[in-house]
Structure 1
Amino acid sequence: MKSHHLPLLKSVSAPTVHPDGTRAVVSVVRPDFDADAYVGQLWNVPVDPALPPRRLTRGFRDTAPAFSPDGRTLGFLRAAAGGKPQLHVVEAAGGEPVPVTAAPLGVSAFTWAPDSRTLVFSARDPEEGRYGTIDGVGAGAEDARLITEYKYRMNGVGYTTDKPVQLFAVDVPDLAAEPPVAPAGRALKAGAGSPDGEDDGVPAARQLTAARTDHSGASCSADGRYVYFTAALHEGSDSDLGSGIYRLPLGPAAPSDPEDLTPADLGRLSVAAVRESRDGHWLYFTAQDIGASGRDFVARNTALYIMPAGGGDAVRLSDPETADLAAGGIEPRGADGALVLNNARGTVQLLAFGPEGRSEVLLDGDRVVTGAAEAGGVVVLSFADAQSAGDVAVLREAQQEGARDDSARLRVLTDFSAPLRTDAGIIAPQELTFASADGYPVHGWLVRPEGEGPHPVLLNIHGGPFAQFTGALFDEAQVYAAAGYAVLMCNPRGSAGYGQAHGRAIKERMGTLDMADVLAFLDGALEKFEELDGGALGIMGGSYGGYLTAWTISHDHRFKAAIVERGFLDPVSFTGSADIGWFFGGEYTGTDPDQVTAQSPMARVDQVRTPTLVVHSEEDLRCPVEQGQRYFTALKRLGVEAAFLVFPGENHELSRSGTPHHRRQRFDEILRWWARHLPTASNPSPADAPAAG
Structure 2
Amino acid sequence: MRPGDLAKIRSPDTPALSPDGSHIVFALSFIDLRADGYRSQLWTVPSVGTAGPRKLTDGPSDTEPAFSPDGRWLAFCRAVGGGAPQLWVMPAGGGAARCLTDTALGVSAPFWSPDSSLITFRARVPEPGRYGTVEGVGPEREGPRRITSLAYREDGLGYFRDRPAHVFVVDPHVELPSPVQISRGPYDHGRATFSPDSKRLAFVAARHERAGEDLRVDVWTCAVDGSDLRALTAGGLRARTVQFTPDGRNVCFVAKEVVDEAPSFRSYGVWLAPSDGSAGPRELTDPADTHVLPWATEPIAAVADGVVYANERRGAVELLLAPYDGTTPRTLIGGRRQVYGFAAGRDLTMLVAGVGSDTCSGELVVKAAGNDERRVTDFGASLRGIRLAPMEEITATAPDGYPVHGWTVRPAGAGPHPVLLLIHGGPHVQFGWELFDEAQVYAASGYAVVMGNPRGSSGYGRAHGQAAARDWGTASVAPDLLSLLDEALLDGDLDAGRIAVMGGSYGGLMTAWLAAHHGSRFKTAIAERGTYSFDSFAATADHGWEIAYDLDPSRWAGCSPLTYADRIRIPTLIIHSEQDLTCPLEQAQRLFSALKRAGTPVEFVIFPGEGHGLSRSGLPSHRLARFDVILEWLARRL
The verdict on a shared fold, with TM-score over 0.5 as the criterion, is yes
* Matched residue count: 630
User: Which residue of 550, 569, 573 corresponds with 1:613?
Assistant: 573
Asked whether the 8 Å contact 1:507–1:587 carries over to 2, the reply is no
If you compute each CA radius of gyration, which structure gives the higher value, 1 or 2? 1
The 5 Å alignment of 1:153-552 reads 153-173=153-173, 203-251=177-225, 255-256=226-227, 258-262=229-233, 264=234, 268-291=236-259, 296-313=262-279, 314-327=281-294, 328=296, 329-358=298-327, 359-375=329-345, 377-397=349-369, 409-422=372-385, 424-509=386-471, 510-527=473-490, 529-552=491-514
Cα deviation code 1:284-308 (max 9, x no counterpart): 122100016xx74131111112233
Q: Which is further off, 440-449 or 375-384?
A: 375-384
Q: RMSD of aligned C-alpha atoms?
A: 1.6
**AA paired with 1:343?**
E
Distance in 1, Cα, partners of 2:179 & 2:137: 25
Instruction: Please report how far the alpha carbon of residue 86 of structure 1 lies from its aligned counterpart in structure 2 after TM superposition.
Output: 1.0
Cα deviation code 1:249-278 (max 9, x no counterpart): 114xxx43621111x4xx611111111112
Distance in 2, Cα, partners of 1:93 & 1:418: 26
Instruction: Please report how far the alpha carbon of residue 320 of structure 1 lies from its aligned counterpart in structure 2 after TM superposition.
Output: 0.8
SS state at 1:463 partner: coil
Distance in 1, Cα, partners of 2:306 & 2:455: 34
User: Which residue of 616, 633, 638 corresponds with 1:656?
Assistant: 616
Instruction: Please report how far the alpha carbon of residue 338 of structure 1 lies from its aligned counterpart in structure 2 after TM superposition.
Output: 2.0
Distance in 2, Cα, partners of 1:150 & 1:228: 26
Cα deviation code 1:452-502 (max 9, x no counterpart): 011000000000000100021100000000000000110000101111111
Distance in 1, Cα, partners of 2:242 & 2:563: 43
Normalising to structure 1: TM-score of the pair?
A: 0.89
**AA paired with 1:475?**
D
Distance in 2, Cα, partners of 1:398 & 1:319: 28
1:188: which partner in 2? Answer: none
**AA paired with 2:442?**
Y
SS state at 2:126 partner: coil
Instruction: Please report how far the alpha carbon of residue 48 of structure 1 lies from its aligned counterpart in structure 2 after TM superposition.
Output: 2.0
Distance in 2, Cα, partners of 1:261 & 1:308: 8
Distance in 1, Cα, partners of 2:33 & 2:93: 33
Asked whether the 8 Å contact 2:231–2:277 carries over to 1, the reply is no
Instruction: Please report how far the alpha carbon of residue 398 of structure 1 lies from its aligned counterpart in structure 2 after TM superposition.
Output: 6.2
* Structure-2 change in CA distance of 1:654 and 1:114 (3 Å): same
* Structure-2 change in CA distance of 1:49 and 1:366 (3 Å): farther
Instruction: Please report how far the alpha carbon of residue 331 of structure 1 lies from its aligned counterpart in structure 2 after TM superposition.
Output: 4.2
**AA paired with 2:400?**
D
Distance in 1, Cα, partners of 2:293 & 2:359: 24
Q: Which is further off, 308-317 or 274-283?
A: 308-317
Cα deviation code 1:639-675 (max 9, x no counterpart): 1111111011110011111111111111111111111
Asked whether the 8 Å contact 1:282–1:336 carries over to 2, the reply is no
Asked whether the 8 Å contact 1:298–1:504 carries over to 2, the reply is no
Distance in 1, Cα, partners of 2:597 & 2:303: 64
Asked whether the 8 Å contact 2:262–2:469 carries over to 1, the reply is no
Normalising to structure 2: TM-score of the pair?
A: 0.96
Asked whether the 8 Å contact 2:405–2:452 carries over to 1, the reply is yes
Distance in 2, Cα, partners of 1:598 & 1:257: 50
SS state at 1:553 partner: helix
Asked whether the 8 Å contact 1:429–1:446 carries over to 2, the reply is yes
**AA paired with 2:259?**
G
SS state at 1:127 partner: coil
Asked whether the 8 Å contact 2:68–2:112 carries over to 1, the reply is yes
Instruction: Please report how far the alpha carbon of residue 335 of structure 1 lies from its aligned counterpart in structure 2 after TM superposition.
Output: 3.0
1:143: which partner in 2? Answer: 143
1:591: which partner in 2? Answer: 553
Cα deviation code 1:616-654 (max 9, x no counterpart): 001100000000011111111111111111011110011
Query: Identity, % of aligned pairs?
Result: 44
**AA paired with 2:321?**
A
2:12: which partner in 1? Answer: 12
Q: Which runs of 5+ in 1 are unaligned?
A: 178-201, 400-408, 679-693
Distance in 2, Cα, partners of 1:210 & 1:342: 34
**AA paired with 2:343?**
A
Cα deviation code 1:92-114 (max 9, x no counterpart): 12111111111111112221111
Distance in 1, Cα, partners of 2:228 & 2:542: 29
**AA paired with 1:208?**
I
Runs of 4+ in 1 over 4 A off after TM superposition: 396-399
Instruction: Please report how far the alpha carbon of residue 330 of structure 1 lies from its aligned counterpart in structure 2 after TM superposition.
Output: 4.9
User: Which residue of 578, 583, 586 corresponds with 2:541?
Assistant: 578
**AA paired with 1:29?**
S
SS state at 1:144 partner: coil
Instruction: Please report how far the alpha carbon of residue 396 of structure 1 lies from its aligned counterpart in structure 2 after TM superposition.
Output: 4.5
Asked whether the 8 Å contact 1:243–1:269 carries over to 2, the reply is yes
**AA paired with 1:546?**
G
Distance in 2, Cα, partners of 1:261 & 1:672: 55
**AA paired with 1:239?**
E
**AA paired with 1:212?**
P
Distance in 2, Cα, partners of 1:449 & 1:396: 39
2:85: which partner in 1? Answer: 85
Q: Which runs of 5+ in 2 are unaligned?
A: none
SS state at 1:14 partner: coil
The 5 Å alignment of 1:49-128 reads 49-128=49-128
**AA paired with 2:585?**
V
Distance in 1, Cα, partners of 2:551 & 2:251: 37
Instruction: Please report how far the alpha carbon of residue 588 of structure 1 lies from its aligned counterpart in structure 2 after TM superposition.
Output: 3.7
Instruction: Please report how far the alpha carbon of residue 235 of structure 1 lies from its aligned counterpart in structure 2 after TM superposition.
Output: 2.2
**AA paired with 1:261?**
L
Distance in 1, Cα, partners of 2:559 & 2:156: 27
Asked whether the 8 Å contact 2:423–2:507 carries over to 1, the reply is yes
Asked whether the 8 Å contact 2:252–2:302 carries over to 1, the reply is no
Instruction: Please report how far the alpha carbon of residue 325 of structure 1 lies from its aligned counterpart in structure 2 after TM superposition.
Output: 1.5
**AA paired with 1:320?**
P
Cα deviation code 1:540-584 (max 9, x no counterpart): 000000000000000112211110000010011111111111122
